[in-house]
Structure 1
């Protein structure tokens, strides 16, 4: 793949040797069984990450009986259980808040001491000193201050749960969406595995918010899996946080002694091997580590996922020892938490009715726009996200928001981020509810109705809700 698409050149590390089992050709026949129907609903959302949580809230607010299926014991996915506490840019390069609706609402639920980031009057600032200060705290890029808050993941879990239950959606935890229920080629719900065994939920519309496209792939929908091994968006790792640190002291040293900091990084690579920088968190005594980013692994291979967990947890303790010894502000550091959820950036991407591609970064407003994403750099315009990117090209009964939306690999680099997952998830929830209410397939829902409902829920759109066409 062309090197021109690699916008993110942060350090990545190749796969170490590990066990990857090769099937020996044997198969077992699983006995046929009758699967109990656990529930029936209008909208079933499988996966309670950023996209799934937003989808469940949006659907339930439109009156759809909505069930949210989640394999863990919390909502928020990588934004909470994955410790991706740094929420990427929600403003464009002029400081305008363009990712709104659910995204804006859930962050507004957090107490002030659970969020760190620039004040609103600083968004879009090109002041060199301000940009330098916030740039070290992951909230300014290309010399521009942005709305990229860092949040306390526990408070975010609580805010997600409150919004889901207040909307009337029904969360079902400790239930792993395993397989789509398909009748006459249409998805009619999903089977899930649980302590009660295999069960099923039937639904008028199913939202695949697994992040990896597990349901649409198993339903036979076309998709892509290719990713550039030289791009960080193909990497996987488990994040962690250290407590007992003094981040202001660390940042003062990093900014004031650049030569020492450069030598520190070089020594870290020499001693630790795969080495990563400490990031700011929601408070000054907690350091966030969102790497090292490990390349050459597949998010769809359990042996690879296991190898990532082993490597990441060992690296956490090696980083702890090195930072305690070498980094100002880290002498009293202790291991606070390693993420309960592995940090997968890419697995599958849907082949949809429409897609976001590199050629679409020209500022054109798509007729079926359901959201606006900030572009990667100031030289590009805001990116219009089309409803068709959530709709499988051929498969009915299902929508697919989140990091597996229909896009090329380069556009995936920003569409996979948490704010964009909130954006596409909210749109999917609205469309699913309207499809269920109208007893039509998601591709047949008039886009004007989706746009009107999204605007009613606070989303930012540039397309006026007066275009009476569908995604078909």
Structure 2
């Protein structure tokens, strides 16, 4: 491969106590927590709006907040839901606490809350590099994150950084070791939005009951039969799962799927083309075979493909599926999750869906890597095995990780200490004051 060498001077346009990379559910709450704790904070987002998988990916509902009759994920994440509900942008599906939401109002509430907290927002900015240095102890300390946008290349200085990119983009650029890559990553899915649907005829549209996998078994069985008989061209599918957006006749459909390493640009591009073709094909099939969809029209595909699994850091502690499913309460537990372990097959329509006995715990040590004293993660890129990750990767749980990471970064900034030196008793006490649920 031919190479060119480019040297350039990059202006340092700003400096912060805490720099949050990624404006999805985890990043939003991380930036909010950091700023409210008094840290000068910014957030960097590649799109022109916040929300990540919720708004760019159209992944709905926000799941899961409640389990066994209790609010499991609370504090700033639930405050966000309440603010969203206050403007007619959210509905809680009781008792489980899945949140049906309006993507547009989600974007609005997210930016309002961050602006109110004094967070600087860098939209349309793609993270393209990280500058870091070794200290006398051999630790890697990030000094700048490099972004590219219409202004050209810019550097943002930070004392502490939070990687909320989902794909560990910043962490990978800084040289953080990663978990071994599974032989088959979970498949990617492109959510599509249909109008003209008889939503009253779709009982699975409201995700309200504990212990239920809300996929449409009737359509699943029909499409499986059509695939096996070869009577129709039926692409690989999952679910299907539906969710509303608080508007009559409009449904988000989650059923496209295909294996792809979404950290590879060429692979990701080809995958999005394929899944977009499949979204149109599924619309045709739904209209043809399912009365509730006979008048359906495809009005949008998500701006980005939904990603279940890519890079995860090799942290100070790797949360195992056994620890998580047994609800081991660690001395440094800072977040929880209660979504089923949800592992989708990369090369078939099958899915492992294992429901929890009780909500699991995530230790603080899973949010940072040894020898990287000013970096935390807040999202599905935290240190976990495939089983634990397959539950915690969903939006409500990720918001809880963001609350923990943002609060910890602000505490570290106040004390001018490494993230690994943060007193976890102090951190947990502050999270409890914010409303987090950290006990059985």
TM-score relative to the length of structure 1: 0.81
Task: Name the counterpart of 1:300.
Answer: 263
1:287 pairs with one of 246, 251, 257: 251
Look up the match of 1:156. Answer: 106
Report how far residue 268 of structure 1 moved.
6.6
Cα separation, 1, equivalents of 2:384 and 2:217? 39
Question: In the superposition, relative to structure 1, how do residues 375 and 237 fare at CA in structure 2: closer, same or farther (>3 Å)?
Answer: closer
Describe the superposition over 1:68-110 as per-residue Cα deviations: whole angstroms up to 9, x where unpaired: 1111011110011100022222222x12111111221111112
Give the match for residue 438 of structure 1: 415
Cα distance 1:272–1:363, how it changes in 2: closer, same or farther (>3 A)?
A: closer
CA distance in structure 1 between the aligned counterparts of 2:368 and 2:220, rounded to whole angstroms? 48
What is residue 19 of structure 1 aligned with on the other side?
none
Identify if the C-alpha distance between structure 1 residues 54 and 379 changes in structure 2 by more than 3 Å, giving closer, same or farther.
closer
Give 1:147's match in structure 2, choosing from 87, 92, 97. 97
Query: Does the Cα contact within 8 Å between 2:241 and 2:255 map onto a contact in 1?
Result: no
Q: Residue in 2 aligned with 1:468?
A: none
Q: Would the alpha carbon gap of residues 225 and 192 (structure 1) be closer, same or farther in structure 2, given more than 3 Å must change?
A: farther
In structure 2, relative to structure 1, the CA distance for the partners of 1:413 and 1:278 (3 Å cut) is closer
Q: Deviations over 1:225-279 (max 9, x none)?
A: 52353xxx61112211101111222449xx9x98787335533773332345251
Where does residue 226 of structure 2 map in the other structure? Answer: 267
Aligned to 1:27: 3
User: Which residue of structure 1 lines up, in the alignment, with residue 144 of structure 2?
Assistant: 189
Q: 1:218 aligns with which of 170, 173, 182?
A: 173
Q: 1:390, 1:405 within 8 Å by CA — same for their partners in 2?
A: yes
Q: 1:334 — aligned with what?
A: 297
CA distance in 2, matches of 1:263, 1:193: 47
Q: Secondary structure at the match of 1:51?
A: helix
CA distance in 2, matches of 1:224, 1:166: 37
2:24 is aligned to 49
The SS at the match of 1:193 is strand
* 1:64 and 2:23 aligned: no
> Which residue pairs with 1:15 in the alignment?
none
Aligned counterpart, 2:308: 345
What residue number does 1:18 align with?
none
Q: Given that residues 44 and 189 in structure 1 are in contact (C-alpha distance below 8 angstroms), is that contact kept between their aligned partners in structure 2? A: no
1:380-436: CA deviations, max 9, x gaps? 332111111111122221111101000011111011111111011111110111111
Aligned residue pairs total 405
Look up the match of 1:8.
Answer: none
Offset from partner CA, 1:193-248 (integer Å, 9 cap, x none): 1111111010110111111001111211111252353xxx6111221110111122
* 1:307-326 Cα deviation digits (max 9, x unpaired): 11101111111112222222
User: Counterpart of 1:171?
Assistant: 121
Q: Distance in 2 between matches of 1:204 and 1:86?
A: 35
1:205 is the counterpart of 2:155? no
CA distance in 1 between partners of 2:133 and 2:421 (Å): 19
* Helix, strand or coil at the partner of 1:319: helix
User: Alignment partner for residue 460 of structure 1, among 422, 434, 437?
Assistant: 437
SS at match of 1:67: strand
Q: Distance in 2 between matches of 1:393 and 1:258?
A: 45
Name the residue aligned to 2:69.
95
Q: 1:240 matched to which residue of 2?
A: 192
Q: Secondary structure at the match of 1:56?
A: helix
Retained in 2: the 8 A contact 1:178–1:191?
Answer: yes
Residue 62 to residue 40, structure 1, CA distance change in 2 (3 Å)? same
- TM-score with structure 2 setting the length: 0.87
Question: Counterparts of 1:307-318 in structure 2 under 5 Å?
Answer: 307-318=270-281
Confirm or deny that 1:390 pairs with 2:367. yes
1:368-407 paired onto structure 2 within 5 Å: 368-374=332-338, 376=340, 377=354, 380-407=357-384
Distance in 2 between residues matched to 1:347 and 1:225, nearest whole Å:
10
Q: Deviations over 1:21-43 (max 9, x none)?
A: xxxx222112x221100100110
1:354 and 1:389 in contact (8 A); partners too? yes
What RMSD over aligned residues (CA atoms) do the two structures have, in Å? 2.2
Structure 2: give runs of 5+ residues left out of the alignment.
135-139, 205-213, 341-353
| Cα separation, partners in 2 of 1:148 and 1:250, compared to 1, 3 Å | closer
Q: Is the 8 A contact 2:338 2:356 kept in 1?
A: no
Residue deviations 1:98-135 (CA, integer Å, cap 9, x gap): 1111221111112375334433xxx2xxxxxxxxxxxx
Could you say what secondary structure the match of 2:46 adopts?
A: coil
